[in-house]
């Protein structure tokens, strides 16, 4: 049994439609990792519905302490390279923190992630 915990970073900010789409993509990738017996955590998957229901802010400034504290207890980080990840203040801060903590960072192509999730019958092809 693997004890490694994977932190999934991805861009989130945008219009409500963009946030919903990003949530779905991160959720599918998280489900794929879980289906492979891995332990993965995504602040977006965990908090998207709660943030909408309770009208919490969507910006990294609000979520920064939560995200970085969660990252600190993880063993590696996967950056799901959704559109805008290179310019995302949150993703870039998470990458910098991972490097500072000597946490391995792996960059994930979202098309590959979608294909893997579809192959595992977790999303429609």
- Region 31-48 average pLDDT: 89
**pTM score > 0.75 for this model?**
yes
Question: In this model, does residue 27 exceed pLDDT 80?
Answer: yes
Question: In this model, does residue 123 exceed pLDDT 60?
Answer: no
Domains and CATH numbers, the chain: 5-119 (3.40.50.10400)
The pLDDT of residue 125: 38
pLDDT, tens digit, 9 for 90 and up, residues 47-103: 777 677 788 777 788 879 989 999 999 999 999 999 999 999 999 999 999 999 999
The pLDDT of residue 94: 96
Q: How confident is residue 124, by pLDDT bands cut at 50, 70 and 90?
A: very low
The pLDDT of residue 7: 96
Name the least confident of 10-14, 33-37, 110-114.
110-114
Question: In this model, does residue 41 exceed pLDDT 70?
Answer: yes
- Region 104-120 average pLDDT: 81
- What's the Cα-to-Cα distance from 124 to each of 27, 32, 117, rounded to whole Å? 13, 13, 9
List Cβ neighbours of 32 (8 Å cut-off, separation of 6 or more): 113, 116, 117, 120, 122
């Amino acid at each position: 049994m693997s004890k490694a915990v994977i932190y999934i970073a991805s861009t989130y900010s945008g219009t409500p439609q963009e946030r919903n789409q990003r949530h779905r993509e991160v959720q599918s990738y998280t489900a794929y990792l879980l289906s492979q017996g891995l332990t993965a955590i995504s602040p977006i998957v965990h908090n998207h519905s709660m943030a909408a229901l309770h009208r919490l802010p969507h910006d990294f400034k609000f979520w920064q302490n939560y995200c970085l504290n969660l990252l600190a207890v993880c063993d590696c980080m996967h950056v799901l390279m959704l559109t805008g990840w290179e310019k995302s203040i949150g993703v870039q801060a998470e990458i910098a923190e991972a490097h500072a903590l000597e946490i391995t960072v792996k960059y994930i192509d979202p098309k590959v992630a979608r294909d893997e999730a579809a192959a595992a019958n977790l999303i429609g092809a």
